[in-house]
Chains A and B, each alone.
Chain A
């Protein structure tokens, strides 16, 4: 069974600075996707960034980038130029890319606070 571990329950950062959230996962699959989701107090899960395991290049989306280390099974999220609106819970998630059920496996989350 796949597992996702987020070892930082809470983090804080000053506005405009950079912060990195950690995620490790365990799987025997070779073809899969990894995600970072943001969950603000509005409760809706919002996709921040997605990485296909077969792509060696790290995904980037504006101020958000990942460091994907497939051999180490590590998938960290870097937020540059942090903004107050980045304050939220952040969840790392895994899904195997094969036929059948598409089941997202989530970590327990990291609560990020951006301070003015």
Chain B
């Protein structure tokens, strides 16, 4: 059974640029959620994808968008990067209704 894999592990971008983060779900899971974890804070829910559609969103602006693919992998896209977007981005997969979440090791994004 494979776990959740995220890429890249680290990334440095310039303010105003766009970034794409990737996540491969654990085998057998059909939902993917993305979280932003600022330094010294708990993770904050960005959104969840199920059946390739957004299935709930946290308090994040529309420049945060995502995709889920038929193989249940996912992308998080952030446009017009701001300095405050610097954080650890975590992906978690699960089977809907089972409430068991497997997290990846995250992507550390630094915006300069």
Contact = CB atoms under 8 A, between A and B. Distances in A.
A36 interface: no
Contacts of A45: 43, 90, 92, 101, 103
Nearest to B31: A102
A59 B33 CA distance: 25
A100 interface: yes
Interface of B: 31, 33, 35, 40-45, 48, 55-58, 88, 90, 92, 94, 96, 99-101, 103-106, 108
Contacts of A105: 45
A33 interface: yes
Interface residues of A, number: 24
Contacts of A102: 31, 33, 48, 55-56, 94, 96, 99
Please report whether the interface of chain B is mostly helix, strand, loop or mixed according to DSSP: strand
Nearest to A44: B105
Contacts, number: 63
Nearest to B58: A103
Please report whether the interface of chain A is mostly helix, strand, loop or mixed according to DSSP: loop
| Minimum-distance CB pairs A-B, first 8 | A101-B56, A106-B42, A45-B103, A44-B105, A103-B45, A43-B106, A33-B99, A108-B42
A79 to B, nearest CB: 19
A95 B92 CA distance: 14
Nearest to B57: A101
A16 interface: no
A43 B104 CA distance: 8
Given A104-B101, A108-B42, 15 more contacts: A4-B42, A44-B104, A44-B105, A45-B43, A47-B100, A47-B101, A50-B99, A91-B42, A95-B99, A100-B56, A102-B48, A103-B45, A103-B56, A106-B43, A109-B41
Contacts of A43: 88, 90, 105-106, 108
A9 B80 CA distance: 33
